């Protein structure tokens, strides 16, 4: 695998430096691995995201206007340590508390949990909403065992708008929980990405196979099936998401997001989107808005995921608000 | 030496020895993690114990707890990931259970092991049998408690034996936690890399106290 690196062991710190350069003055590194917006207003309830690097543009590429205020970045595919999370927490806190919003992976949960205790010891109020949108990772009765995958894009966007409007941390938790609980995703893996430091694949999958419901690091999903067409795959993804416990049917409005896991092209995402939309319209579901492209990735992993967010009167104005970030930018409606 | 107790300076020397052995074991630990995870466990442990060594070298400890908690903080801050959190917590909550004692005896070691087990299981939720480092850590605690040790050297030998047995037992287990759980039954036959690290830590501590 040809990859543009200098020292593979410094990939995480170099990409964070590059991210600060991308933001060109609106983001600063507040300690190694911790980044924050430079213009957070004084009365704001703060939104902090974070996780391992190597999945760009998430999570650290989601800070910006109308998005997250800061991010704690770990090493490649590894959770950030508690002190980095604490530094990021202090940088974004404006005295109204901080919401931690991140994917439900054991390393992240442990490190953010320790950080929230350290923050509490310094008098900073922290609340947490875990992202667990992957329907293939556990049954609906055990949501706390589900992984966070591409649904985090609409969830963080909605949370960013909510953080601009919320009067206090409790209100923000309520709004973000609404966004999280109305979002469901499923992923399909075609080929693994590689670990930058070693060049080795992140998991193994036969050339003619497809990992149905497989996670972004190769975590087990529903099973492995023979390679299929874009339409067949779209049918499978829509069926899996609609079979979950969130009722989506006639007259409902949804955000539709076809995410590339890295090397799957926009052409493929568009071909899948076409079928997904047709299937939803056939069921009387209205499309509120569409997102598409590589936003939750694992290096050059091939694969695609579908996320649906069911809209309601609370979420619509949050979605309609403009936002800008490396990972997702939206003009106002 | 077969020491009845260890003073804070002894404990510091013992953990410096642990740091050296873990740093030297990088390749072995990374290989163990390539079989089950993403292959970076050895590098993470090497980074963690290099940071811990730097902190310990500048420390003039008054209590044994201080030596362990300094090690834990350094591991947690420098490693990141799930392993940084659990390895750091092992030393931090184990150390916190020792209070202001200025020596480590057999009872102190049992208190350290109990504190470490409580801290790690409260944080990560793993239980013995889940094929994690908890299997080695709980093995060390159980063995040190079962044998009525008179000296810290005997207690460390028991902890070493228990940790090794716990690590060996992970070979037959199916991973249910962390990244290795994606392998399911394919994880059988390989020891958990975190359990392997814990067994090396207690073996080195025992070797130091029984040299």
- Element holding A247 (H helix, E strand): none
Residue B38 has pLDDT above 80, yes or no: no
Which of the listed CATH numbers 1.25.40.340, 2.30.42.10, 3.40.50.720, 3.40.50.300 matches domain B8-209?
1.25.40.340
For chains A and B, CB pairs below 8 A equal 80
When pLDDT is cut at 50, 70 and 90, the band that residue B127 belongs to is very high
Residue B53 has pLDDT above 70, yes or no: yes
Residue B75 has pLDDT above 90, yes or no: yes
Search chain B and give the residue with CA nearest A202: B38
CATH 3.40.50.10440 fits A8-181, yes or no: yes
* Spatial distance between the Cα atoms of B88 and B82, rounded to a whole number of angstroms: 10
Cβ neighbour number for residue A225 with a 10 Å cutoff: 14
Q: What is the pLDDT of residue A219?
A: 82
Nearest alpha carbon to residue A8 among A192, A217, A199: A199
Cβ–Cβ contact B23 with A under 8 A: no
CATH 3.30.1180.20 fits A183-320, yes or no: yes
A302-332 confidence digits (pLDDT tens): 999 999 999 999 999 999 999 999 999 999 7
A93-143 confidence digits (pLDDT tens): 999 999 999 999 999 999 999 999 999 999 999 999 999 999 999 999 999
**Could you tell me which residues come within 8 angstroms of residue B107 by beta carbon, excluding any fewer than 6 positions away?**
none
Nearest alpha carbon to residue A163 among A173, A148, A178: A173
Among the ranges given (A117-126, B39-48, B181-190), the one the predictor scored with the smallest mean pLDDT: B181-190
* Spatial distance between the Cα atoms of B193 and B10, rounded to a whole number of angstroms: 28
Please say whether the beta carbons of A68 and A156 come within 8 A: yes
| Helix residue spans in B64-151 (DSSP H) | 64-79, 81-96, 106-124, 133-146
B77 closest CB neighbour out of A81, A110, A202: A81
CB contact under 8 A, A107 and B178: yes
The ipTM, to two decimals, is 0.89
- Domain boundaries of chain A, sorted by first residue: 8-181, 183-320
Q: What is the pLDDT of residue B6?
A: 96
A276-309 confidence digits (pLDDT tens): 999 999 999 999 999 999 999 999 999 999 999 9
**Could you tell me which residues come within 8 angstroms of residue A123 by beta carbon, excluding any fewer than 6 positions away?**
none
Nearest alpha carbon to residue B73 among B62, B204, B200, B59: B59
Residue B159 has pLDDT above 90, yes or no: yes
* Spatial distance between the Cα atoms of A68 and A49, rounded to a whole number of angstroms: 7
* Spatial distance between the Cα atoms of B42 and B50, rounded to a whole number of angstroms: 12
When pLDDT is cut at 50, 70 and 90, the band that residue B182 belongs to is low
Cβ–Cβ contact B90 with A under 8 A: no
* Spatial distance between the Cα atoms of A15 and B152, rounded to a whole number of angstroms: 47
* Spatial distance between the Cα atoms of A326 and A61, rounded to a whole number of angstroms: 5
Nearest alpha carbon to residue A45 among A83, A86, A101, A85: A101
Q: What is the pLDDT of residue A122?
A: 96
Would residue A60 show up in a list of annotated catalytic residues for this protein? no
Mean pLDDT along residues B3-27: 96
Q: What is the pLDDT of residue B33?
A: 84
When pLDDT is cut at 50, 70 and 90, the band that residue B1 belongs to is low
Among the ranges given (A59-68, B10-19, B186-195), the one the predictor scored with the smallest mean pLDDT: B186-195
A221-268 confidence digits (pLDDT tens): 888 999 999 999 999 999 999 999 999 999 999 999 999 999 999 999
Kindly state the tokens that stand for A128: 């947490």
The average confidence (pLDDT) of chain A is 96
Nearest alpha carbon to residue B179 among A209, A195, A112, A61: A195
Cβ–Cβ contact A80 with B under 8 A: yes
Mean pLDDT along residues B128-135: 94
Search chain A and give the residue with CA nearest B47: A9
How would you class A70 by CB atoms within 10 Å of its CB: exposed for 0-12, middle for 13-18, buried for 19 or more?
Answer: buried
**Residue tagged active-site, from A217, A236, A310, A330:** A217
Task: Among A16, A55, A110, A299, pick the best mutation site for testing chain B contact (most B Cβ within 10 A).
Answer: A110
Among the ranges given (A93-102, B138-147, B160-169, B172-181), the one the predictor scored with the smallest mean pLDDT: B172-181
A106 closest CB neighbour out of B38, B76, B82: B82
pTM, rounded to two decimals = 0.94
CB contact under 8 A, A79 and B76: no
- Domain boundaries of chain B, sorted by first residue: 8-209
């Amino acid at each position: 695998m040809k990859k543009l690196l200098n020292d593979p062991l410094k990939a995480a710190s170099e990409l964070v430096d590059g991210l600060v350069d991308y933001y060109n003055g609106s983001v600063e590194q507040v300690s190694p691995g911790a980044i924050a917006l430079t213009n957070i207003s004084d009365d704001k309830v703060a939104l902090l995201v974070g996780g391992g690097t190597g999945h760009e543009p998430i999570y650290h590429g989601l800070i910006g206007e109308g998005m997250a205020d800061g991010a704690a970045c770990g090493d490649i595919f590894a959770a950030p340590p508690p002190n980095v999370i604490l530094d990021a927490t202090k940088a974004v806190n404006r005295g109204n508390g901080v919401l931690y919003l991140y994917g439900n992976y054991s390393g992240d949960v442990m490190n953010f949990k320790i950080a929230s205790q350290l923050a509490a010891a310094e008098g900073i109020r922290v609340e947490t909403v875990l992202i667990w949108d992957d329907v293939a990772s556990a049954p609906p009765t055990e949501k706390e065992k589900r992984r966070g995958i591409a649904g985090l894009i609409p969830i963080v966007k909605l949370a960013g708008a909510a953080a601009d409007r919320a009067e206090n941390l409790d209100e923000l938790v309520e709004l973000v929980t609404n966004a999280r609980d109305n979002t469901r995703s499923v992923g399909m893996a075609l080929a693994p990405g590689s670990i930058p430091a070693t060049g080795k694949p992140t998991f193994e999958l036969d050339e003619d196979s497809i990992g149905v419901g497989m996670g972004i690091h190769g975590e087990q999903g529903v099973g492995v099936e023979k390679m299929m067409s874009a339409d067949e795959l779209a049918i499978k993804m829509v069926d899996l998401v609609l079979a979950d416990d969130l009722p989506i049917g006639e007259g409902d409005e949804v955000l539709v997001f076809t995410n590339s896991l890295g090397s799957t092209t926009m052409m493929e995402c568009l071909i899948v989107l076409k079928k997904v939309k047709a299937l939803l319209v056939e069921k009387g579901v209205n499309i509120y808005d569409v997102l598409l492209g590589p936003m939750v990735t694992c290096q050059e992993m091939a694969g695609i995921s579908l996320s649906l967010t069911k809209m309601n009167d609370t979420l619509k104005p949050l979605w309609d608000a403009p936002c800008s970030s490396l990972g997702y930018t939206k003009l106002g409606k | 030496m077969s020491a009845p107790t260890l003073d804070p300076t002894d404990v510091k020397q013992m953990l410096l020895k642990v740091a050296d052995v873990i740093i030297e074991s990088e390749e072995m630990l990374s290989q163990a993690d390539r079989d089950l995870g993403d292959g970076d466990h050895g590098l993470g442990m090497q980074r963690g114990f290099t940071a811990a060594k730097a902190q310990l070298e500048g420390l003039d400890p008054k209590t044994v707890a201080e030596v362990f908690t300094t090690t834990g903080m350094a591991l947690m801050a420098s490693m990141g990931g799930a392993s940084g959190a659990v390895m750091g917590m092992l030393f931090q909550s184990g150390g916190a259970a020792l209070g202001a004692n200025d020596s480590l005896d057999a009872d102190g070691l049992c208190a350290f092991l109990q504190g470490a087990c409580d801290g790690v299981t409260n944080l990560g939720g793993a239980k013995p049998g889940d094929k994690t480092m908890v299997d080695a850590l709980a093995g060390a605690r159980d063995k040190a408690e079962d044998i009525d040790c008179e000296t810290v050297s005997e207690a460390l030998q028991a902890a070493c034996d228990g940790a090794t047995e716990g690590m060996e037992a992970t070979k037959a287990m199916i991973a249910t936690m962390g990244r290795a759980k994606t392998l399911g039954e394919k994880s059988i036959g390989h020891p958990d890399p975190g359990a392997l690290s814990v067994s090396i830590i207690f073996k080195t501590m025992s070797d130091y106290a029984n040299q």
